[in-house]
Each structure stands twice: as C-alpha cells, then as structure tokens.
C-alpha cells in the first residue's frame, strides 16, 4: 500500500546521508528512532483521508482532515516527548540574537521571487477554500513537522559542522530538505508504480533547505512559517484576484 511504502521509500532514499553526516557523541540512536517513527506516522496520518475516505471527516476539496491529523500528532508529541525543551523545537517567537536582520532580508527576498514567479511564470485560478487551507494548514503544520520536530531531532544526531555565512548547520538540514522535496515530488501507487516529478522535488527541496537554515539561524519557527505562507499564498491570492 502506498500509504506505507511511500514514507519507507523516502527514508531509504535519505539513508546514505546518515552515514555521511558527522555525528554527535553517543547516545543518539534514540533520536534517530524517534525521527524515523515520527516521519512515518506523520505521512501516514496525512495520507489517511486520501487513501481511505472514511477518515475524511471534513469532506472538502482540500485535505483538511489529513493536516488536522498532523496537527494532533504534533500536539501529542509535544505533550509526551520531554527529552528536548519545547523552545528548542522552534515553538517560540523569541529570535536568536543578531538573526532578525537575516530573517527580514530572507523574507523580503522570497516576496520578490514569488512576485516575479506570479508575474512571469504562473498564478493559479483558485478558490477561497484553497486560500484558507494554504494559510492555516500546510504552511504551518509542515513547518512544525519538518523544520520543528524532524530537524530538531536530527540536530541531536549530527554535528553542525557546515557553515553558510553565519549559519552553522548539520546533515539534518539536508536530510529534511530532501524529504521535503520527496513529499512534493515522489509518489508510489498501490500497484507500486513510481512517479517522480523532478521540478517540484528540486523546487520544494531548495525551499526546504533555506527554511531549515532560517530555523537554525533564528532558533524559531516564526519566520519559516511566515515564508512558507508567502510561498503558498502569493500564487493562490494573485490568481484569485487577477
């Protein structure tokens, strides 16, 4: 079944990266286990209403039910997983010292890039439902999951021995970016037919990596969420308005 084979395939693809990254001092296996279990569970609950309509309690065009399940999973994780402080997962509005300027410039850059994309490449004829969905669901819960929970768990595994400017990061930023790209580009059917859309994979993978850098620099999910909203919302709103 694709609901299970797809997340397992994602993890198999990124498995070599676990051997490349420089690891922290043991013990770190428990964080790898937590990362693996959470990644699979989140993809499972998100896909449930798509694979099994009985789980779609919202009965709307967008996958509201799946994203709500993802929210619930994150809440349960934060309630019961106490090895890492909540703020370390980025669940705080407090920004690391000296990071605000970087965050504002990065956000402004995304606004300009998305505006150019909408003008010269494309914008979507969408609905009010889709606009509200993009504003409140994937833009927020995907950041909590990917740049919050998964990236933070991997930060306990890998040494932040890479550097771009003033940003130190580890292999976790790369792994979560690849998984984020796979979420949007790779699909495995129930008949185990593989479909790979390379443009969404590369596009969202790059965005995922930048958002990981923002989280690592700021220590907060505030700006990653704002940037994710911008990326999701601008093509939708401009397509609706124009």
Domain ranges of the chain: 2-241
Q: Do the beta carbons of residue 157 and residue 28 sit within 8 Å?
A: yes
Q: Helices (DSSP H) in 121-170: which residue ranges?
A: 128-136, 138-142, 151-155
**Stretch 193-203: mean pLDDT:** 91
3-state secondary structure of 191: coil
Burial class (CB in 10 A: 0-12, 13-18, 19+), 241: exposed
Is 0.85 surpassed by the pTM of this model? Answer: yes
User: Which pLDDT tens digit goes with each residue over 68-95?
Assistant: 999 999 999 999 999 999 999 999 999 9
- Higher pLDDT, residue 118 or 224: 224
Specify the range with the lowest mean pLDDT, choosing from 19-28, 81-90, 92-101, 112-121: 112-121
User: Cα dist. 137→64, 131, 211, 230 in Å?
Assistant: 7, 10, 17, 13
How confident is residue 235, by pLDDT bands cut at 50, 70 and 90?
Answer: confident
**Stretch 213-228: mean pLDDT:** 98
Residue 214 has pLDDT above 80, yes or no: yes
How confident is residue 5, by pLDDT bands cut at 50, 70 and 90?
Answer: confident
Short-list 162, 133, 143, CA closest to 227:
143
Residue 6 tokens read as 């797809």
How confident is residue 240, by pLDDT bands cut at 50, 70 and 90?
Answer: low
Residue 123, pLDDT score: 66
How confident is residue 1, by pLDDT bands cut at 50, 70 and 90?
Answer: low
């Amino acid at each position: 079944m694709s609901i299970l084979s797809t997340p397992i395939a994602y993890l198999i693809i990124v498995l070599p990266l676990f051997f490349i990254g420089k690891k922290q001092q043991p013990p770190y296996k428990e964080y790898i286990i937590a990362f693996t279990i959470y990644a699979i569970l989140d993809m499972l609950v998100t896909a449930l209403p798509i694979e099994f309509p009985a789980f779609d309690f919202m009965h709307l065009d967008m996958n509201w039910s799946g994203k709500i399940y993802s929210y619930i999973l994150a809440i349960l994780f934060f309630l019961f997983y106490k090895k890492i402080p909540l703020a370390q997962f980025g669940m705080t509005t407090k920004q690391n010292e000296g990071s605000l300027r970087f965050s504002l410039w990065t956000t402004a850059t995304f606004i300009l890039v998305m505006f150019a994309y909408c003008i010269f490449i494309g914008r979507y004829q969408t609905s009010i439902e889709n606009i509200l969905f993009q504003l409140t669901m994937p833009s927020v819960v995907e950041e909590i999951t990917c740049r919050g929970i998964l990236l933070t768990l991997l930060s306990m595994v890998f040494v932040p021995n890479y550097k771009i400017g003033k940003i130190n990061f580890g292999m976790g930023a790369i792994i979560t970016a690849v998984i984020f790209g796979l979420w949007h580009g790779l699909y495995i059917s129930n008949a185990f037919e593989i479909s790979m859309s390379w443009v969404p994979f590369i596009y969202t993978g790059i965005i995922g990596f930048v958002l990981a850098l923002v989280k690592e620099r700021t220590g907060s999910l505030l700006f990653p969420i704002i940037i994710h909203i911008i990326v999701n919302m601008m093509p939708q709103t401009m397509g609706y308005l124009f």
